[in-house]
Amino acid sequence: MPQQVQAVIAPGRNEPVRVETITVPDPGHGEAVVQIQACGVCHTDLHYKQGGIGDDFPFLLGHEAAGVVESVGEGATDVAPGDFVILNWRAVCGQCRSCRRGRPWYCFNTHNAKQKMTLKDGTELTPALGIGAFAEKTLVAAGQCTKVDPRVSPVVAGLLGCGVMAGIGAAINTGQVGRGDSVAVIGCGGVGDAAIAGAKLAGAAKIIAVDIDDRKLEMAKSMGATHTVNSHTASAVGEIRALTGGHGADVVIDAVGHPETYRQAFYARDLAGTVVLVGVPNPDLSLELPLLDVFDRGGSLKSAWYGDCLPSRDFPMLVDLHLQGRLDLDAFVTETIGIADVEEAFQRMHDGEVLRSVMVF
Ligand SMILES: NC(=O)c1ccc[n+]([C@@H]2O[C@H](COP(=O)([O-])OP(=O)(O)OC[C@H]3O[C@@H](n4cnc5c(N)ncnc54)[C@H](O)[C@@H]3O)[C@@H](O)[C@H]2O)c1
Ligand SMILES: [Zn+2]
Ligand SMILES: [Zn+2]
């Protein structure tokens, strides 16, 4: 029987979000219905509301979630009702040209549920990143459910489903930060701070946090930043170079996604160093760089889709590190909120007051 549940909808560009009753169909072939226990508020949800990701309103927001599988359709063999899972937004296909070449983290054909969730009047919803988890229950492809150790709290586990994974992965998977490296992270929200935590896990010797907000720089220190730069009052490039013997950092991670921060990352990196773009730019932005500088400075300019993670490999591993006390996920949770509090959480995110607000059910 299709179920009616409460969920958070973005009805139109820049319109306030609303709590509405939605219909969740029974899982079809290869699908699963998941009872959501917790879902973090990510900047990408705000991008959706603002129309920065696309125009397929109404969106069903929320995508950083953990919960318990309630039911599965036929053909869903890897998860079963009762499993505790983190939802992922890149369920790999195993068949595309990238998967076939042994690089499933780049999968070019990731999949979501085929059936649509709807408003009461039948209007089809577009779930954010194919998840839509500011909802008591959601319908996903079974491959979007990654089983992890159920001893972890859902409040922190859900964060691995997006921002924290994207940040940690930007450092360890995309940036390939190694022992002794110098790393700079521009933009210290949930994603940037996770990149800092990832750089620390990987053994970076120097971790420079850059933000325009001193409160964020304080939090970044507790995540493992060894140095901080307020780029509102000082030059990001000048300070990062000064802190690295005049050379620049081995890896610079842009967790904002503006041409300005990308240019800072580009010039704050040592020769042959790596720039990782993990912040998502708005569609109207473009970048200009002297092509000769791109050549002369060497190295690599990379983008981190979801931290180039492989959920089946990385989620259980990071949960284990957390349970062993080696990765402090609790530090990312500023507050827990209810289903009606998303607008306030967006405002607090915008005002720089939170790393993560997490909706709990
Ligand atoms: N690549 C991925 O797979 C992926 C996954 C999740 C989120 N994201 C993106 O990552 C970005 C960050 O997300 P978040 O949830 O951490 O956002 P957030 O709003 O919590 O944090 C952004 C931080 O950047 C700082 N900032 C803003 N402008 C700056 C500037 N010019 N210089 C330095 N710092 C600046 C802010 O003060 C804030 O601390 C967003 O664009 C989001 O869409 C990407
Ligand atoms: Zn694939
Ligand atoms: Zn996200």
Q: What is the CATH number of the domain that holds 134?
A: 3.90.180.10
Residues 98 and 200 both lie in one domain: no
Asked if residue 204 is part of any domain, the answer here is yes
Is 75 within a domain?
A: yes
H or E segment and range at residue 271: strand 269-277
Per-residue pLDDT, 321: 98
**Do 342 and 275 reside in the same domain of the chain?**
no
Same domain, 174 and 103: no
312 in a structural domain? no
Q: What is the mean pLDDT of each run of 10 residues along the chain (361 residues)?
A: 97 97 98 98 95 95 98 95 97 96 96 97 97 98 98 98 97 98 97 98 98 96 97 98 98 98 98 97 94 97 97 98 97 97 96 95 96
Domain presence at residue 317 = no
Number of compact structural domains in the chain: 2
What confidence score (pLDDT) does residue 67 get? 98
Flag whether 316 is in a domain: no
- Cα(204)–Cα(194) distance, integer angstroms: 14
Distance in Å, CA 145 to ligand 2 centroid: 16
143 and 42 share a domain? yes
In a domain, 311, yes or no: no
37, 360 Cβ separation under 8 angstroms: yes
pLDDT value at residue 134: 98
Protein residues within 5 Å, CB atom, of ion ligand 3? 42, 44, 162
In this structure, are 155 and 173 located in the same domain? no
211 in the same domain as 74: no
- One domain for residues 336 and 234: no
Rounded Cα–Cα distance for residues 353 and 349 (Å)? 6
Q: Near ion ligand 2, which residues have CB within 5 Å?
A: 93, 96, 99, 107, 109
**Is there a single domain that holds both residue 42 and residue 185?**
no
CATH number of 257's domain: 3.40.50.720
pLDDT of residue 22: 98
Ligand 1 centroid vs 349 CA: distance in angstroms? 10
Same domain, 246 and 138: no
Residue 350 lies in a domain: yes
C-alpha 270/C-alpha 114 separation (Å) is 46
Statement to judge: residues 11 and 149 lie in one domain? yes
CB 275 within 8 A of CB 269: yes
Domain assignment of residue 115, yes or no:
yes
Contact 176, 201 (CB under 8 A): no
Same domain, 9 and 146: yes
What 8-state DSSP symbol labels residue 280?
Answer: P
- Tell me the best of 48, 129, 165, 256 to mutate to test the pocket of ligand 1, counting ligand atoms within 8 Å of each CB and taking the most: 256
Distances in whole angstroms, Cα of residue 200 to Cα of each of 19, 208, 272: 39, 11, 21
Mutational pocket test of ligand 1: of 39, 41, 44, the residue with most ligand atoms within 8 Å of the beta carbon: 44
Range of the domain at 279: 168-304
For 94, 133, 277, 310, 332, the CA distances from 98, given in Å and listed in that order, are 8, 28, 21, 13, 33
Say if residue 210 is in the same domain as residue 296.
yes
Mutate which of 50, 53, 240, 280 for ligand 1? The one with the most ligand atoms within 8 Å of its CB, which is 280
pTM of the model: 0.96
